[in-house]
Structure 1
């Protein structure tokens, strides 16, 4: 919901940084992997029970790199593998944070499993929509230039990052926050399915 509004504000800064990085030989894929590494480091810190505030730095730096990889790719040339690697690493990071809270406190396990299930459903609806859009030649640049079709939804990347930041700041409130966010993921999934039905049609 917020991504399309934030893009015009952050893309110019990312593009400038992307030109600098590409100029010194940094590749988009290496930026993607570095971002994943920082995200997993934040998850590990949470899993081992460290104060959530300490995990904020690698978490936020990792998300900055997640934006920078696309900026580098726009300079050096986008590739299908780069887009594939980017979305795979995104989902690896998204799954690592709920898992970290389950490991941090076994009492969180059921709620973490619910949150992971809603992430799974939301991700499936997102990727399925992208496949059908590609099949029909449907494109969009609302979320910037992407390798995949990014269908808008109630919860997108910005909302997920804000949620993770909140979890780091108030880790003891994981269960109620995760239940609310998971429910909103289900709303997002349902809305995307209805949109797909309208755009792609129903057999027969």
Structure 2
């Protein structure tokens, strides 16, 4: 819901930094992989009982997630770069809740499983819509220049990062926060299915 406004705010400084990195020979794929390593390090820190310390690499990973696109725009966008970016994002989004489940399986196991299930269906509706949009030649830049067609929803990347930050700040609230966020993910997924039925009518 907030990604469009956030992109307009952060894209100009990211593009400047992306051009500077590209001028020094840094590739977009290298930035993507660095962001993934930072994100997985954050998940490991959470699992080890240090969610507060995990905030640093978690936020740095999201900075890298924005920077890889900026570097690509300053050099050359590739299909593989877009593919690597979305795969890395999905791994990161799954690893952080897993970290909280490993931290306290008894307290967080059920809520974590529900949250991951909601991420799974939300991701399926997102990618399914993107595939059909690509087949029909649909384009949008509402959330910046992307390799895939991005559909909106109640919960997008910005809201998810805010949610992860809240989990790191208040880890003992993981279960109620996860149940609530998971419900909103299912609502987002349902809204995308209804949109797909309208845009891609059956028959």
TM-score > 0.5, shorter chain as reference: yes
**Cα offsets for 1:66-104 (capped at 9, x unmatched):** 000000000111000000000000000000011111100
Task: Identify unmatched segments of 5+ residues in structure 1.
Answer: none
Task: Please name the residue that 1:183 is paired with.
Answer: 183
Pairwise CA distance, 1:113: 0.6
Task: Please name the residue that 1:155 is paired with.
Answer: 155
Task: Please name the residue that 1:4 is paired with.
Answer: 4
Pairs aligned (count): 202
How do 1:28-39 residues align onto structure 2 when only pairs under 5 Å count? 28-39=28-39
Distance 2:98 2:64 in 1: 22
SS of equivalent residue, structure 1 residue 66: helix
Distance 2:154 2:89 in 1: 18
Pairwise CA distance, 1:110: 1.2
Pairwise CA distance, 1:120: 0.2
How do 1:119-198 residues align onto structure 2 when only pairs under 5 Å count? 119-198=119-198
Distance 2:154 2:76 in 1: 31
Task: Please name the residue that 1:101 is paired with.
Answer: 100
Task: Please name the residue that 1:55 is paired with.
Answer: 54
Pairwise CA distance, 1:53: 1.5
Q: Which runs of 4+ in 1 moved over 4 A?
A: none
Normalising by structure 2, report the TM-score: 0.99
How do 1:70-85 residues align onto structure 2 when only pairs under 5 Å count? 70-85=69-84
Task: Identify unmatched segments of 5+ residues in structure 2.
Answer: none
Normalising by structure 1, report the TM-score: 0.98
Give the root-mean-square deviation of aligned CA atoms.
0.5
Distance 1:135 1:103 in 2: 40
Distance 1:59 1:86 in 2: 16
Distance 2:185 2:123 in 1: 10
